[in-house]
Structure 1
Amino acid sequence: MKNIGLLLMLFITSYASAQKYFSKTGETEFKASVEAFEPVEAINKSTTVLLNTKNGTIAALLFVKAFHFEIALMEEHFNENYMDSDKFPKAVFKGEIIDFDMTSLSEIKKEFKLKGKLTVRGKTKNIETVVYLKKATNKILLTSKFNVSPQDFDIEIPSIVRNKIANAIQLKLNYELIEKK
């Protein structure tokens, strides 16, 4: 009886795991540039993402200090003055890909609606955007982009640099998800 229970537990665990795709190397990029000034942009290449292919729920976590800028001083200001990364080290997204159906994915990019909540600096904002998914060999490729505002997350931009930073910050997602085994 013990062996049957153990076998059943292993089957359920492997079945549940087969329903999930993930990445630990997802790319999240942001651009807050204004023309005529130096680019304010960074990339984070270590976003962790988990997609449940059974119901379309998705979660992403990134460490704010993992955003890297071309200009080191800009990165320092971003972490210390704007994002307060020591106090708020993570940004989290939890949501759902609406009408997600794993069997409908192919090598052709397909559009879905994405709804969820983005939490940055302890503040949460509802997000509704479009996400594009396509199936590649044993992978799901996910891309999206949407805008947020610094004010959404109580990020204060000092007046001395306010005209050098965009009011709408573009977030661009590029995730290559592999089956979790």
Structure 2
Amino acid sequence: MKKIFSIFVLILMSHFAIAQDKILTKTGQITFEASVPSFEEVKATNKLSACLLNTKTGDIASVAMMKSFKFKSALMQEHFNENYIESDKYPKAIFKGKIENFDVSKLTTQKQEFVINGTIELHGKSKNISVVAKISKKENTTNIVSNFTLNTDDFDIDLPFIISNKVSKRVQVSLDYNLL
């Protein structure tokens, strides 16, 4: 029995040591806007995005379920999921990348700019991207904020002619993650 307990403690300690290198959130926020002047706002927010950061290596990954994006208009949300992003066929957006020159020990409450390089997969297509993020740390929480632009053409998202002048192909994306 003592031997089994020792093995259990050893496994638990090794798991704890590994876990300390990784921080995460399951409630990150991603907002996108594809509005054009003089037309109805095309904006949605997802407050259930997950993000995992390896604080030792700077490797970062996030996933957002497409049906978790909420619009002001239920009809707009329905069109987004069924006609444009095809959420049943392509249920999630995935990003995998690395934060350049990342050193968690140098983070402070002051936001510092970092470049994140990686690949985003959306609507069945992958694209390499490089974005600037502001990262800070307060107590046990690491905050990552970024704003960038994606183009619907890069992901073969077709906008029907009837709405093509009402929705921008250049989509402004902002994210806010508080990782523990």
TM range (shorter): over 0.9
Partner residue, 2:137? 135
| Alignment match of 1:52 (pick from 51, 54, 59) | 54
Partner residue, 1:77? 79
**Aligned mates of 1:26, 1:60 — CA distance in 2:** 9
| SS of equivalent to 1:162 | coil
**Aligned mates of 2:76, 2:67 — CA distance in 1:** 12
| Alignment match of 2:92 (pick from 90, 93, 116) | 90
Q: Where in structure 2 are the equivalents of 1:93-172 lying within 5 Å?
A: 93-172=95-174
| SS of equivalent to 1:9 | helix
| SS of equivalent to 2:165 | helix
> AA paired with 1:67?
F
Query: So what's the TM-score if we normalise by structure 1?
Result: 0.95
> AA paired with 1:64?
M
Partner residue, 1:18? 20
1:63-115, CA deviations, whole angstroms, 9 ceiling, x for partnerless residues? 10000000111000000000000111111001111111001100000110000
Unaligned runs of 5+ in 1: none
RMSD after superposition: 1.1
Higher RCO structure, 1 or 2 (CA under 8 Å, sep 6+)? 1
| SS of equivalent to 1:152 | helix
Unaligned runs of 5+ in 2: none
| SS of equivalent to 2:143 | strand
Question: Offset of 1:132 from its aligned partner?
Answer: 0.7
Query: So what's the TM-score if we normalise by structure 2?
Result: 0.95
1:136-158, CA deviations, whole angstroms, 9 ceiling, x for partnerless residues? 12100110011111111110011
